[in-house]
Amino acid sequence: MTECAYCGNEVEYAEPVFIEELRSGMRISTGSFCDYDCLLAYLEARRLAPGR
Ligand SMILES: [Zn+2]
């Protein structure tokens, strides 16, 4: 079972989105998401880092 990295739901029943990042030349799996809404919300939350 794969859980959405944002809302924690299982992603299998929907249309899951998987993303990877290149970090220091290594490909790192960032997470799985139920759909693009969760993906965007997750990226938004990361961008809104404290101290701004
Ligand atoms: Zn989700």
Confidence tier at 4 by pLDDT (50, 70, 90): very high
Statement: residue 47 has pLDDT above 70: yes
Statement: residue 30 has pLDDT above 60: yes
Statement: residue 14 has pLDDT above 80: no
User: For residue 20, what are the β-bridge partners?
Assistant: 29
Per 3-state DSSP, the chain is made up of helix, strand and coil in percentages (nearest 5) of 25, 35, 45
In 1-52 the beta strands, taken as DSSP E runs, fall at: 17-23, 26-33
For the chain, give every domain's residue range: 1-52
CA of 44 to the centre of ligand 1 (A): 14
CA of 33 to the centre of ligand 1 (A): 5
User: Which of 24, 26, 15, 19 minimizes the C-alpha distance to 5?
Assistant: 19
CA of 47 to the centre of ligand 1 (A): 18
CA of 32 to the centre of ligand 1 (A): 8
Neighbours of 16 (CB within 10 A): 16
How many whole angstroms from its chain centre is CA 51? 22
